[in-house]
Amino acid sequence: MVPMDSARPSGLDPEIANRLKRDEHGLFPAITQQYDTGEVLMLAWMDDEALRRTLTTGRCTYWSRSRREYWLKGATSGHVQWVKSVSLDCDGDTVLVKVDQVGAACHTDDRTCFDAGELPVVVGAQP
């Protein structure tokens, strides 16, 4: 399942690559959010090459763990994600990609992957 050999140099800027923490497959999660509303659209996986493509093309590219290939969001569906910003979290193990989403973000043709219903929870409140 390894999308790339982590020992092989990638085209990603070394200053960025050195800040990333990857799992045993060379991957890290990418949370995708609508840039103007803050709506969380989806979570997908990237490696260094997917991040490089995302940073340099203005469109989101992910690594598909099931298909074992790069996935340019919207290439077949037309549901394009236009990149507005990319941020690395404090641990260096997750990226937040803010996009302008065209159409559905989810493979089920829903706007977001997070609309399958809320789970029962005890709601916390600040004292």
pLDDT at 116: 85
Predicted TM-score of the model (pTM) = 0.88
Six-digit token pair at 108?
Answer: 């089920």
Along the chain (127 residues), what's the average pLDDT of each consecutive run of 10 residues? 51 94 96 98 97 97 94 95 98 97 94 91 94
Q: For residue 107, give the nearest of 97, 115, 96 by alpha carbon.
A: 115
Q: For residue 80, give the nearest of 107, 99, 55 by alpha carbon.
A: 99
pLDDT at 10: 75
Which residues partner with 81 through β-bridges? 101
Distance from C-alpha of 53 to C-alpha of 127, rounded to nearest angstrom: 46
Q: Give Cα separations from 80 to 49, 91, 104, 120 (angstroms).
A: 19, 28, 9, 33
Q: Give Cα separations from 41 to 23, 36, 97, 112 (angstroms).
A: 23, 12, 10, 4
- Please tell me whether residue 45 adopts helix, strand or coil conformation: strand
CATH topology of domain 26-101: Ubiquitin-like (UB roll) (3.10.20)
pLDDT at 3: 54
